[in-house]
Every structure is written in structure tokens, then in C-alpha cells.
Amino acid sequence: MKALYDVPAPAKLNLFLHITGRRADGYHLLQSVFVPIDWCDTLHFERRGDGRIVRHDLGEPLSEDDLCLRAARALQAASGTRLGADISILKEVPSGAGMGGGSSDAATVLIALNRLWGLGLNRAQLMRIGVTLGADVPFFLGTGPAWVEGIGEQLTPLALPAADYMVVKPPAHLPTREIFSSPLLVRDTKPAMISVFLAETTQCEARQGGAAGLFGRNDMQDAAQALCSDVGQAVELLEARFGHGRMTGSGSAVFARIGALEASDGEQLLELPAGWRARRCRSLESHPLRDWTPD
């Protein structure tokens, strides 16, 4: 195999995000449900025999030493391969959104180069590499929607049906460190149970026809809105149009669950300030590269 083209790296939404405590090393403990969505970056890979890793930016320029390069080098080091690659990246997922775009790109690099280089590493072996790159990377190496705990590395796969969401991304980037140091940040939410999440989600879907209602909350949202008015404005915009809105992750993107009729024309009915982005997305029942990695 010499090349792999048009390889997707899907973004994700945090359907809720609870902070349940803090470790001795300062890392916050969380509970969340991550779902991959059909808003994706696209990567292309060409094998090199000289061991070099070269990145080509086809759209938005990335930082000089981004997660994709770090992922490729980590895979080289872990496997001992002498092969290299040209990696071309077309960024579509906005940065600073809290949608895991960079982590997903890194995971796709690990999955694709494992295949391109013929390494044969299984999912657990790739996850051991991925967790050293970032807390969200293991999720994107998994099979699809997941219940997430710890600092993001403890994953329990969930079977969730596809659903439609409206995602709005203001241009602002959130100061993540300031969120975690804010007195408004909730750090002691009582741990939830998967069974309760599934039961309440099913009941809400039955009452609302699959459109509105979300389990739990995002414990970072109050602190984020105090630091960045755009987040509060985006939430209000979605609440006015769809009845609810929520921040995803620790970035500035917000989303609302929408029904089938709203999904057909929702973007056209949103009036956004200049520089804002909105996109109707559908969650994925499985990761698009699920079958590329042996379990």
C-alpha cells in the first residue's frame, strides 16, 4: 500500500460534561457522553521510504509542531518502523470549538499510518500511544459514541441512534486555563450512571419527538459565558430558535438537538453575526474508521 486518500477525522459533541472531582495532580475528573458527528477534517497519506514525516496544509495553516506530527512520530517510535509519510490535511472543523478537531486528526493519523505502514497494531496498542498525546485522542481511536470518565481516557462504548444537531461556532476562542480557575466552575457534580442517562434520554425523546431535551449540563458553561459573551449569545440564539442550547467541551461552540423538520431548514432560519459559523450535523452511530483497526 502506497497511499490512502480522503480519510475522515470526525469532530465530536459532548452531550453533557460534568466535573466530578479533581486528582492530586490537578487534572479534573469528568463524566461525559461523546458522540462523533459528520463534520470532518479530511487527510491524505502517501508513504515515504526515507522515514521523514512531512505535513502539507491544504486549508487553514496549522502550528509548526501540531498533534498530527506528534502522533506520527510517536507511532514511529513505538513501532520502530523506518517508513515515513507525507500527510496532507484539509481543515474543516473549526479550532477552539471544543469539538476535538485536533485530537481527531491525531487519531486518524495513528489509524491510517498503522494501516499504511502495515504495522498491525490493535486498538489497545494505539490507545496507549494516543493517551500520551491528549485526553480526547483515545475516544477517536474507539468505535463510536462512548460514556467517558476519568480525564477522558476511560471509555464505555454506547449504542446511540443517529440524531440531528445544530452547531454554532462564534469566532472567539475561550481561555481554557481561566475557565478551570474560575470560581464559577462547578467541580463537585454527583457522578451519574449510564443507565440513568439512557433512560432519561429515551424518555425525553419520546416526549419531544426526538427534537429537544438534553441530559445533565456542561459544568464549564457558566464560567465560559462569564469570560466570553459570544458563548452566552450563541446559547441564547439557539434557545430562541430551538428551545435549548449547550456548550460542547471547553471551546466556544454550542449546539442544540433538533428534529427532522428543523434539520431541513434550520441553518437558513438562523441569523448569525458576521464571522460566525453554523452547521447542521448528524451524529454517527460508529466511527467511520472503526473497521480499520483490529480489536
What letter would DSSP give residue 283?
B
Closest C-alpha among 260, 246, 282 to residue 211: 260
Contact at 8 Å (CB) between 35 and 10? no
Q: Which of 12, 105, 164, 219 is catalytic?
A: 12
CA atoms within 13 A on the CB side of 197: 20
128: Cβ contacts below 8 Å, ≥ 6 apart? none
> Residue 57: helix, strand or coil by DSSP?
strand
C-alpha cell at 140: 477517536
- Among this protein's residues, is 190 annotated catalytic? no
Binding-site annotation: residue ranges: 94-104
Contact at 8 Å (CB) between 251 and 97? yes
Q: How far apart are alpha carbons 227 and 214 in whole angstroms? A: 24
164-169 and 254-258 strand pairing: antiparallel
Binding-site annotation: residue ranges for ATP: 94-104
In the numeric block, the cell 445533565 is attached to 216
Per-residue DSSP letters for 145-210? -EEEETTTTEEEE------EEEEEE-S----HHHHHH-TT----PPPP-HHHHHHHHHHHHHHHTT
Longest distance between any two alpha carbons in the chain, whole Å = 59
- Among this protein's residues, is 86 annotated catalytic? no
51 dihedral zone (left: phi>0; alpha: psi -120 to 50; beta): left
Q: Which of 105, 136, 164, 219 is catalytic?
A: 136
Closest C-alpha among 72, 71, 55 to residue 63: 55
Q: Which residues carry out catalysis?
A: 12, 136
